Amino acid sequence: MKRVLVIGAMGMLGRDLLGMLRSSKEVDTPKGFEVVGWDIDEIDIRQEGSTRSKIESLHPNLVINLAAYTDVEGCEANREEAFQVNAEGMKHVAMAAKVCGAKVVYLSTDYVFDGKKNEPYLESDSPNPLNVYGQTKLNGEQYLQEKVEDYLIIRTQWLYGRYGRNFVSSILRQAKEKQTLTIVDDQIGSPTYTVDLSRAILTLIQHNSRGIFHAANQDVCTWYTFGQAILKFSRVEGVSIIPITSKAFGRSAVRPSYSVLSTRKLERETGMSLRPWSEALKEYLGEINFK
């Protein structure tokens, strides 16, 4: 029996991916795999000794590392902690995977780029992170590439899903409390649904793909136009949105103004393309509203 280990299994993406890996209904699920999901209660990837011994005794064939310090503002305030989880943590997991001869999948981010390109970023484009989160995720990518030959790095962006705090849940909550919202209108990207991303991850694994891939829902928007769509598709009335600049919003972490990821490599390699973000958003809102 082959064994898949998902680390960060209780996170927003992890819960969807684990559900899909364990569901016999999903056609894309690799067959005949035993699936093990661990999160911070079972493994703390900052700790080298215990991380290596736990993974080495499980002896998985495939390790999917989703564990991360994902609070982008928090990373600015706690640099060392962000580096410990996102970079050193990935290194510890990779060292153990190497001993087991396991393939490693690592989820990374559009924030490895500086946003100056103004056309969709290719996997071969040079990273130049603007914030600590992006820098530590890039360090994680590099450690993985150094330690393991059979790796799959999947860069994605602007995630939302049923199991975590995210932009969609934040806008819906704010719309219950306020009549006017202010949302940043000078960052461009592609909102991505964790269910669609989970399918892309499984498809890449099934194709035994290696190297770096970008995966995101199609079409682009700003956070402001994304916010407008969330209210419109949820039929929220009487709430208006004021577009503002990132500078006026005044967050500590600088974000790229344009971080659209080209997904052509994913399409070429697997024949799969993720649907437009607005279609995915409608389905997601339908499910959380009416179930």
Ligand X SMILES: NC(=O)c1ccc[n+]([C@@H]2O[C@H](COP(=O)([O-])OP(=O)(O)OC[C@H]3O[C@@H](n4cnc5c(N)ncnc54)[C@H](OP(=O)(O)O)[C@@H]3O)[C@@H](O)[C@H]2O)c1
Among 5, 6, 8, 148, binds ligand X (CB under 6 A): 8
Tell me the window of 40-48, 120-128, 221-229, 233-241 that interacts with ligand X (CB under 6 A): 40-48
* Distance, CA of 65 to chain centre: 11
- Please tell me the count of residues contacting ligand X according to CB under 6 A: 27
Residue 39 interacts with ligand X (CB under 6 A): yes or no? yes
* Distance, CA of 21 to chain centre: 17
Alpha-helix runs per DSSP H in 178-276: 194-206, 223-233, 246-249, 264-270
Q: Which is nearer to ligand X, 89 or 234 (CB)?
A: 89
Q: Could you give the CA distance from residue 207 to residue 209 in angstroms, rounded to a whole number?
A: 5
**Hey, what are 189's tokens?**
């990207």
Residue 13 interacts with ligand X (CB under 6 A): yes or no? yes
State yes or no: is 133 an active-site residue: yes
Q: Could you give the CA distance from residue 66 to residue 8 in angstroms, rounded to a whole number?
A: 5
Q: Could you give the CA distance from residue 146 to residue 149 in angstroms, rounded to a whole number?
A: 8
Q: How large is the angle between the packed helices 194-206 and 277-290, nearest 10 degrees?
A: 120
Residue 6 interacts with ligand X (CB under 6 A): yes or no? no
Q: Could you give the CA distance from residue 82 to residue 72 in angstroms, rounded to a whole number?
A: 9
Q: Which residue is nearest to ligand X (CB)?
A: 11
Among 22, 28, 36, 40, binds ligand X (CB under 6 A): 40
Among 4, 5, 12, 231, binds ligand X (CB under 6 A): 12
**Contacts of ligand X in 86-145 (CB under 6 A):** 89, 107, 109, 137
Q: How large is the angle between the packed helices 277-290 and 223-233, nearest 10 degrees?
A: 40
Question: Nearest distance from residue 61's CB to ligand X, in Å?
Answer: 20
Question: Nearest distance from residue 130's CB to ligand X, in Å?
Answer: 14
Tell me the window of 25-33, 38-46, 168-176, 229-237 that interacts with ligand X (CB under 6 A): 38-46
Contacts of 248 (CB under 8 A, 6+ apart): none
Residue 45 interacts with ligand X (CB under 6 A): yes or no? yes
Question: Nearest distance from residue 39's CB to ligand X, in Å?
Answer: 5
Residue 82 interacts with ligand X (CB under 6 A): yes or no? no
**Hey, what are 278's tokens?**
């607005």
Are 104 and 63 spatial neighbours (Cβ–Cβ below 8 Å)?
Answer: yes
Q: Which member of 111, 133, 151, 193 is catalytic?
A: 133
Question: Nearest distance from residue 238's CB to ligand X, in Å?
Answer: 29
Which spans of this chain sit near ligand X (rule: CB under 6 A)?
Answer: 8, 10-14, 39-40, 43-46, 66-70, 85, 89, 107, 109, 137, 156-159, 164
Q: Which residues are catalytic?
A: 133
